[in-house]
Amino acid sequence: MMTLDDVPTIVAIEKESFTSPWTEEAFVNELTNNHFARYMVMDYEGDVIGYGGMWTIMDEAHVTNVAVREQYRGLGLGTKLMVELQRTAVMFGAKRMTLEVRVSNMVAQHLYKKLGFEPSGVRPGYYSDNMEDALIMWAELDSSGVELADDDE
């Protein structure tokens, strides 16, 4: 699980990954004040190289962030993070999971579709940096954990 000590590294990964990165204050607030928040880190040889976060509310999970350090991308680590988020969401009682993704981010959309997410709508002008629309995607979560796509990493 992510700790406050991880926040500076997480902020660095945010800046590598997103045009509108979350701030250190945002992550500190998530970890200290948001009892719906669940954040995890991916560790490699003692270094945090990725992370994922979500809110679990009732029987739904909402993915907030998923990112992997630039030099570790393309190795299936984003898939591993998403699968772990799905498994954790099921542990917390979630039956469905949702997320938003830029309509132009076809790489992420492909990953999410592989993990059972389906488009369900659009949030116009969702991203404040360029007013790009967000595609809303939903997935049903399998409580057995069997169907959570470990097949083609």
Give 55-96 pLDDT, tens digit per residue: 999 999 999 999 999 999 999 999 999 999 999 999 999 999
β-bridge partners, 47: 44
| Cα gap 20→1, rounded to integer Å | 24
Q: Edge-to-edge, what's the strand order for the sheet holding 134-140?
A: 37-44, 47-57, 60-68, 96-102, 134-140, 118-123
Domains of the chain: 4-140 (3.40.630.30)
Q: With residue 44 as reference, give the H or E element that holds it.
A: strand 37-44
Please determine, for residue 11, whether its predicted confidence score (pLDDT) is greater than 80.
yes
Determine whether 112 is an active site residue: yes
Report, as an integer, the average pLDDT of 30-49: 96
β-bridge partners, 119: 137
Q: Which one of the listed residues 14, 30, 51, 112 is annotated catalytic?
A: 112
pLDDT at 52: 97
Please determine, for residue 9, whether its predicted confidence score (pLDDT) is greater than 50.
yes
pLDDT at 46: 92
Structure tokens at 16: 């590598």
pLDDT at 13: 97
Q: Which one of the listed residues 39, 100, 118, 153 is annotated catalytic?
A: 100
Least confident of 28-37, 41-50, 125-134, 138-147: 138-147
